[in-house]
Every structure is written in structure tokens, then in C-alpha cells.
Amino acid sequence: MSAAVPPVDVPTRPGGAPRITLIDAASAGLLLRQHFSSGDPGPVIASLAHVPELVGPTLPFLGAVLGPSWIPAREKEIVILRTSAVMGCRYCTEAHSVVALDSGLNVREVRALRGELPVGDVFTAEEERALVAWCDAVAQGAEADIRQARQVLDVDDARLVELTLLVATTVMLNRYATALALPTSLDVRERLLREDL
Amino acid sequence: MTALAQALAKGSLGNRLWLYSNYHCNLTCTYCLTESGPLVSRRELDPDTMVDLAHEARALGFTQLGITGGEPFLIPHMPELLLELSRVLPVLVLTNGTLFRRALLDRMAPLADADVTLQISLDHPDPVANDVMRGPQNFRKVVDAVPALLRHGIGVRIATTVEDPDADDLARLCALHRNLGITDDDHIVRPILRRGRARTGDMGVVARYLDLPPELTVTADGAFWSPFGPTVTGGVLDTDLLLTRTVRPLQRPVQAMLTVLGARPEGADSTLNIR
């Protein structure tokens, strides 16, 4: 069975002011100072810092799931960026467009994952199209789509577990970043402009 | 011995658990750390929660309680709550001392046999100078309240908060508190801390967390490093000394406190005499 990726409705959400105050170095609680010692830690940490005890357990979890692992970075960024685009998360889509470029994806691939080009036209490798279909199915959550996507995703159980947790964790972050309207950092915006993204 | 027991035994962590009963106040002092006043959000700790926290504190090894605010005696059942808390641990209550009219004094009477001490603010020996900082009639109400409380058998301390202590003023203030029945041992003098309304008003000394004695402090907003931590500036809670939002079980903020204490440099003791 081949991995045809049907078009999905990739929603776009407007930017805007964050719905919370982002904690800065002067306001960071005593347990969090290390995260602010090298400058702006980014809006995820700056928002979590409102509840200091959440930072300690959350960051290692996110690092383990989203960070470097035995799954190649390119593969992980396909998952994160595609999931974020399908979920309509402006913050994560913009941030991970840059990370994806830095992980070896080209601009056309990034555009395809963002829903701006047909995935089938840009991704020639069968396994990558199957991976995109898996992201779409898991993110949208319909059992029939998940069953169909699993049939064409040729990976063992260990890989399936990690890729699926990656989709699920990305969905969690998508909801978080969208609900709080986390702002895209200036350096990401500048890079996206330079890349015409 | 647990890490907490060791910290309490060494004195690296204060043995008093502080509870912010509320943030509202009948006064609007010019240097108030919490920007308290009659119209601010009350942010009250539920009395049952305070009692539960007292029991948890005792079980963990804390030996004293401190109650502060806001003005604690704006809480309707504060005398009865203090009696209940004092059955768990000795209690020190910080109050502006302006609410002790006959009815409240009568309700305070049962505290004569309890381990409850009131710490009342009095900043200057001259009524006008005192009241400029603290509010109209503050001086008169305090000098009336102190002997009345003592007559009821209730322990009283005086706390003086000053920007630039003047030796002559301080001597006259000490003569005044002795005349009111307060010994020198029960009079503390401390600087204005540059937080809250003092910061807005360009007063006080800057204190880093290393300058503040670590005393676990619980408020409706979370647990803090020190009772000087949960301040309010421009109507917004200061979070730089926040440990955790979760306050129960008390072990949660205690663990956070111990983590911070563990990272504290050797010899980082308080230098500002802030207490």
C-alpha cells in the first residue's frame, strides 16, 4: 500500500499579544534562575515560570521527547512541524520551521509540511510520506485514519512508540502555545523573513 | 535526621512558618511591602487551611508560627483562630494595632493563657512623624492598644521600621515603649525594604534573597522564601522569591526551599538585620 498523503486543512491562526505576562529574569522564582542566567529562555519557559514547580519536571520530559534521540533529527522535525501545522499552532509552526531548516529540510519541504505545497509532490521517499500521513492521522485523532496510516508506516514498535509520543507531545505543546498566544521570538521572525517563509 | 531537621537544627532555615492570612488592611502605609490597603484584593488564606498547615508544620519540625498580612485582625474570627493555632505551635502575629477597641479586646481575653504574641508597628516617637508614614491617628491608637493588651495578659512586641534611624528619635522611641510596658528585648528595629510601595516611593534598602533570612512563607498565591517575599508592586505580585504555587502538602514547598538552600553559598547570612 503506498503512502498517499491526502490534503489536510492546515489552519492558520493570527498572531497577537500573549494572554499572560511572560516572566523575565528579574521576576523568575528562586528555583528558576539558572534558566534565565543566559538571557531570554523563550516563551515556553517564561510562561511555565509562573508555576515554578512545573518547570523542573516538564523540561526534562520535553527534552527527552523532542530533543536528540536515536530517531534522526530530520525525521523528528518532520513530525513536529507537520503536527504543529495540522494543529494550527502559529508559534510552534514558526519556531519549528527554523529548527527544521537547521535539521536538514529544505524550504520546499518546510512549505509542504506547513500545507503550502502538496506533500506528495515534494517528499519523494515513501517512508517520509507515510510518516507525514501518520502525523496527520494521530494529530486529528480519527481511528479509521490512524488504522489506515499504520498500514503504510513500516516501522517497528519501538519507533512507532517514540514517533507517536512525539506527535502527542507536540499536540500538547500546540494547545498550550496557541491557548496562551505565545509570541514568536524576533530571531525566528527574522530568519523566516530571510527564508521567505 | 532529615534534611529539613538538619536545616532547622543548624538555623540555616528559620524554625517559624509564616502564613499570610490576608492582604487587605485598614491602613495604607507609605512603605508597605504588599501595597495593602482597604480596597486591595483580600487574597485570604482559608482559616481551616491555616490550621492544617500548622499541624503539617509541627509534624515536619517547625516550632513556631508567624501570622502576617495585610492586617490579620480584619479577618472576622482571628482571635479564635489564633487560639486554635496556638494549641499547635506558638504564634507571633504582626498587626498595626489600630483595631483593638473594647469588643475586640474582650474577644482577645482567652489568648491570655495562650502562647500568642502580638508584634505591633510603631515607627516614631512623634505622633505627626509616625502618622505621616502610617496614617491618621495611628500613633494614638497604638499607644492606647499596647497597655490595654498587656492588661489583658497578652504578650506584645514593638517593631520599628525606619528609613534613616536617628539616634535621638530612637532613644525617645525606646523611652516610649518602656513607658508602655515593653522591654528592650521586645523592641526590634529594622530597615525599610525596597519592595512594594517603598520601591514605588523610592524608599528603602535593596535586598537580594541572600540578604533575607530564609523563613518559609505561605500565602494564597503560593510559598515564598521569606515573609518579605510575597510583595506587591504596581498591583502585581512579585514572584522573584516565589518557591512553589503548591503549598500542600507542606513538604512540597519545603523541598523547594531545601533545594534553594542547598545552592546557597557558604556564609551567605543575612546582613541587613531584616526580620
Where do the domains of chain A lie? 25-65, 68-194
ipTM above 0.95, yes or no: no
CA B131 to chain centre: 20
B85 Cα to chain A: minimum distance (Å): 28
Domains defined for chain B, CATH in brackets: 3-262 (3.20.20.70)
Summarised one tens digit per residue, pLDDT across range B117-130 is 999 999 999 999 99
The packing angle between helices A157-179 and A126-140, to 10°, is 50
Q: Most A CBs within 10 Å: which of B237, B240, B243, B258, as the mutation test of the A interface? A: B240
Mean pLDDT of A10-21: 78
Mean pLDDT of A140-152: 96
Q: pLDDT-based confidence at B265, cuts 50/70/90? A: low
DSSP H or E segment with residue B217: strand B217-219
Percent of chain B with pLDDT over 70: 96
Q: Are the Cβ atoms of B244 and A23 closer than 8 angstroms?
A: no
Q: pLDDT-based confidence at B165, cuts 50/70/90? A: confident
Q: pLDDT-based confidence at A10, cuts 50/70/90? A: confident
Domain A68-194 sits in which CATH superfamily? AhpD-like (1.20.1290.10)
Q: Give counts: helices (H), strands (E), chain A.
A: 11, 0
Q: pLDDT-based confidence at B264, cuts 50/70/90? A: confident
Instruction: Say if CB B23 and CB B45 are below 8 A apart.
Output: no
The CA distance from B13 to A152, in Å, is 60
**How many interface pairs between A and B have CB atoms less than 8 angstroms apart?**
41
Q: pLDDT-based confidence at B268, cuts 50/70/90? A: low
The CA distance from B191 to B161, in Å, is 5
Higher pLDDT, B209 or B20: B20
Place of cell 509540511: A113
Average pLDDT of chain A to the nearest whole number: 94
Average pLDDT of chain B to the nearest whole number: 94
Mean pLDDT of A117-145: 97
The CA distance from B211 to B229, in Å, is 12
B56 Cα to chain A: minimum distance (Å): 20
